[in-house]
A and B are shown apart, each in its own frame.
Chain A
Amino acid sequence: MTFEQFVRERGPGLRAALVAAYGPQIGLDAASEALAYGWEQWARLRTMENPAGYLFRVGQSAARELMREPPSFPVPSGQALPEFEPGLLPALAALTEHQRVCVVLVHGYSWPIVEVARLLDVTHATARTHLQRGMAHLRIALEVHRAD
């Protein structure tokens, strides 16, 4: 696989995961740094079984250098998302990094949990637990109840 193919196929997911973890501003910067590193090191990375997972960790390191505050997500206008629950974003920001990544990738971008686990270098069971815990925290914070 060429680096260009890799970026085309895996780049969006890498960006999504880092945005989920660190918010759009730092997440996108971290994704850029990770991909730049990937370009430089592609000869080595392409032999790996999961270069996306490796670059996610590169992005994590870059983001943690930049992080000074908890991640922040822009608030949509009332016109853009009229029914939007304003408490959702601070509740998301309060999750742990892995919980937030799992929640956003699974429920925000419809990733299968197995793919999230792959990116995070964790087992399916661990990713599922992060997801369940993240969703449980959000439900408590937002007083979500089951429709039935």
Chain B
Amino acid sequence: MPTDEFEEQIAAYFGWLEEQLGVELRAERAVASEGRRWRFTAIAAGVAAVVALVGVLLVRSAPDRRVTTDSTPMATSASTAGPTTTDEPSPSSTPPVAEASTWAPVHLPPGYRVIGVYRGLAAQMGGSEAADVDPLERPVRPFIGFTVMTTHGPPVYVSDEGDLSPSNQPPTATIQTIEGVGELLGHTLTTIDGTVLRIGWPWIDEQPRDEQIAQVARALAPVSDVQLDALDHDAQTYLGQLPQIDAVVLGGYEMVHRLGGGHEPGAICVRIGTDQGCRPKVGNPNTPADQRQAAASVLVGDAWVIAGTNLGALQIDLDTVDFAWCSAREDGTVVASLALSATIANGVDYFLVEVPDDVDFVRLCVPDGTTLEAASTGVLVRPDTGVDNG
């Protein structure tokens, strides 16, 4: 069948289908009155999960993402009409942390568990100065994020999104407001000292309930680097004990796909010898396992490895690769694509990149003609060799 005829058949069929259904399916063109166009930062919804897993939020270039009109505040469970003030723990409940470097969800109630600690660079979010700059072109700065699993709902993600001041706040700093910002961004959470965090679930599919978000918000407290490392270690140890679904060997590493259950995400672990690193494999539980996308950025022994499943169009059957991992500079600019190993097992695409020793920053990228462009707002940073990855 010639190409032209083939494309005409598609048009003819869907015209016929529209008639059969008796509903209008023709698209409207861009609606000028809708204002400024979306300028999403680059990544497909599935890849958003990959990016989120490495600690980067899917963002867009809104000048101020707080809802300022008659929107419903996030904390609807509190049945209030304005920003919600959470219960403030007594000062004694948060012991002083002299060397606190950030916030972390450390006072979690039973049934909650930190399963992911992410440290990297992320494009500056928020602030009017960034409003007109594409997020992919904004300067990057250090960020920290966490995934908190609950046994009775989808995971909650919380991140400083790269615009947190170093958290040497007094230990009495507590959550002041939680405001809804809607869509993919989670919610803005402000502490009494002005710290702003994003909290919620940054990619599509099921959202955590407000009460879950509030529980995680209340659990936040200043922590030191040592405490953060311990949190990371505990999370990776936990993930490494989940049941094994599949294991493949790529580039000399064994990559193990581990099973979650219910709302519990699975995990991607990479190991060589007795060294192992794990990251949660999140995604909509209703999505078939072989379509979920995930990435683990881990230190395995002395090697920095990025491994995961279903990276964009990694099926190599058509010699087309949507996404790749690229080396980057500290300012986030992309340098060159990194060699990637891939295989398919039981219908799941697995990939692994062993990052060369001389590369300290890696960013998701996409080929665009003869050049490479950043494809997410985040930049992975070589994990600290002092951290035991479990």
Residues of A that sit less than 8 Å from B by CB: 1, 9-13, 15-16, 19-20, 24, 28, 41, 43-50, 53-54, 57, 60-61, 64-65, 73-74, 76, 80-81, 83-85, 88-89, 96, 98, 103-105, 107-112, 114-115, 118, 120-123, 125-126, 129-130, 132-133, 136-139, 142-147
Contacts of A43 in B (CB 8 A): 69-72
Contact of A144 with B287 in the complex, beta carbons under 8 Å: no
Contact of A64 with B284 in the complex, beta carbons under 8 Å: yes
Complex CA gap A114/B39 in Å reads: 11
Q: A76-B13, A112-B29, A145-B2 are in contact. List 16 more A-B contacts (CB 8 A).
A: A15-B24, A15-B25, A43-B71, A49-B37, A49-B60, A57-B205, A61-B206, A81-B9, A81-B12, A103-B10, A114-B30, A118-B38, A122-B40, A122-B42, A123-B40, A129-B313
Task: Take A110-B11, A111-B27 as given contacts and tell me if A44 and B320 are in contact as well, using a CB distance cutoff of 8 Å.
Answer: no
Complex CA gap A13/B204 in Å reads: 19
Which of A12, A73, A108 interacts with B11 by CB under 8 Å? Answer: A108
Task: Take A64-B286, A120-B45, A122-B45 as given contacts and tell me if A74 and B17 are in contact as well, using a CB distance cutoff of 8 Å.
Answer: yes
Of all chain B residues, the one with the shortest Cβ separation from A132 is B320
Contacts of B23 in A (CB 8 A): 12, 15, 28
Which of B6, B11, B67 interacts with A138 by CB under 8 Å? Answer: B6
Contact of B1 with A144 in the complex, beta carbons under 8 Å: yes
Complex CA gap A10/B312 in Å reads: 28
Task: Take A47-B67, A85-B9, A129-B313 as given contacts and tell me if A61 and B37 are in contact as well, using a CB distance cutoff of 8 Å.
Answer: no
Complex CA gap A137/B16 in Å reads: 23
Contacts of A65 in B (CB 8 A): 286
Contacts of B90 in A (CB 8 A): none
Complex CA gap A137/B315 in Å reads: 12
Of all chain B residues, the one with the shortest Cβ separation from A88 is B9
Contacts of A133 in B (CB 8 A): 313, 318, 320
Contact of B69 with A47 in the complex, beta carbons under 8 Å: yes
Contact of A122 with B13 in the complex, beta carbons under 8 Å: no
Of all chain B residues, the one with the shortest Cβ separation from A127 is B44
CB distance from B310 to the nearest CB of A (A): 10
Contact of B25 with A76 in the complex, beta carbons under 8 Å: no
Contact of B320 with A129 in the complex, beta carbons under 8 Å: yes
Most buried by B among A107, A130, A138: A107
Contacts of A118 in B (CB 8 A): 30, 37-38
Complex CA gap A137/B33 in Å reads: 37
Is B210 an interface residue when CB atoms closer than 8 A count as contact? no
Query: What is the number of contacts between chain A and chain B, taking CB atoms within 8 Å?
Result: 191
Contacts of A45 in B (CB 8 A): 182
Is B62 an interface residue when CB atoms closer than 8 A count as contact? yes
Contact of A44 with B71 in the complex, beta carbons under 8 Å: yes
Contacts of A89 in B (CB 8 A): 13
Which of A19, A48, A130, A132 interacts with B25 by CB under 8 Å? Answer: A19
18 A-B pairs in the complex with CB atoms less than 8 angstroms apart = A1-B34, A10-B31, A15-B23, A20-B14, A24-B17, A28-B23, A44-B67, A48-B182, A49-B35, A49-B37, A73-B13, A85-B9, A107-B10, A108-B13, A108-B14, A110-B27, A138-B6, A143-B1
Contacts of A76 in B (CB 8 A): 13, 16
Contacts of A144 in B (CB 8 A): 1-3, 6
Contact of B3 with A13 in the complex, beta carbons under 8 Å: no
Complex CA gap A9/B6 in Å reads: 29
Contact of A109 with B26 in the complex, beta carbons under 8 Å: yes
Contacts of B184 in A (CB 8 A): 121
Is B7 an interface residue when CB atoms closer than 8 A count as contact? yes
Which of B10, B21, B31, B291 interacts with A24 by CB under 8 Å? Answer: B21
Contacts of A48 in B (CB 8 A): 182-183
Contact of A98 with B44 in the complex, beta carbons under 8 Å: yes
Contacts of B43 in A (CB 8 A): 122-123, 126
Is B322 an interface residue when CB atoms closer than 8 A count as contact? yes
Of all chain B residues, the one with the shortest Cβ separation from A17 is B27
CB distance from A119 to the nearest CB of B (A): 9
Is B381 an interface residue when CB atoms closer than 8 A count as contact? no
Contacts of B4 in A (CB 8 A): 147
Task: Take A85-B1, A122-B43, A147-B2 as given contacts and tell me if A54 and B183 are in contact as well, using a CB distance cutoff of 8 Å.
Answer: yes
Which of B6, B16, B60 interacts with A80 by CB under 8 Å? Answer: B16
Which of B7, B25, B40, B287 interacts with A16 by CB under 8 Å? Answer: B25
Of all chain B residues, the one with the shortest Cβ separation from A31 is B23
Is B180 an interface residue when CB atoms closer than 8 A count as contact? yes
Complex CA gap A50/B72 in Å reads: 17
Complex CA gap A131/B20 in Å reads: 25
